[in-house]
Homo-oligomer: A and B are copies of this chain.
Amino acid sequence: MDEFMRAAIDEARAGYAEGGIPIGSVIVHAGRIIGRGHNRRVQNGSPILHGEMDAFENAGRQPASVYREATLYTTLSPCAMCSGAILLYGIPRVIVGENRSFMGEEALLRSRGVELTVLDDPECIELMARLMREQPALWNEDIGE
């Protein structure tokens, strides 16, 4: 497996080990991870720290030129909020672990020119399947349902 999706899955697993929702993300620029994170709804009581948002936050303030050459990896199809952050900063490429558990705003991203690759990765699918089985109410909260 690609080392960067491996890092995103490691983030997801770390989140699950903390009692949280197992979704992780890394942002890569020039072959190097500049930001990594995982969903922190449970850990921080946060409605905005989805995995992708946590990765953006941990990358800190970056110039537009960096975002525009970056690739975002996420274990799950990005929701409207995270897709919006991707559009705001003009991230050109997004690698998605899977979209069976949740279909995010992939059509919107593609319509705005973002290059999206969906891996349909069994490990990402299993992480979400377990969470949705164990804590369905928590998962619904995370996607505003």
Interface residues of A (CB under 8 A from B): 41, 45-48, 53, 56-57, 59-64, 67, 79-85, 87-90, 105, 108, 140-141, 143-145
Instruction: Give, as a whole number of angstroms, the nearest-CB distance from A126 to chain B.
Output: 24
In the bound complex, residues from chain B placing their C-beta under 8 Å from that of A105 are 84
In the bound complex, residues from chain B placing their C-beta under 8 Å from that of A144 are 64, 67, 88-90
> Which B residue sits closest to A137, measured CB to CB?
B63
Asked whether, in the complex, the Cβ of B53 is within 8 Å of the Cβ of A48, the reply is yes
In the bound complex, residues from chain B placing their C-beta under 8 Å from that of A41 are 61
In the bound complex, residues from chain B placing their C-beta under 8 Å from that of A56 are 47-48
Asked whether, in the complex, the Cβ of A59 is within 8 Å of the Cβ of B47, the reply is yes
In the bound complex, residues from chain B placing their C-beta under 8 Å from that of A87 are 80-81, 84
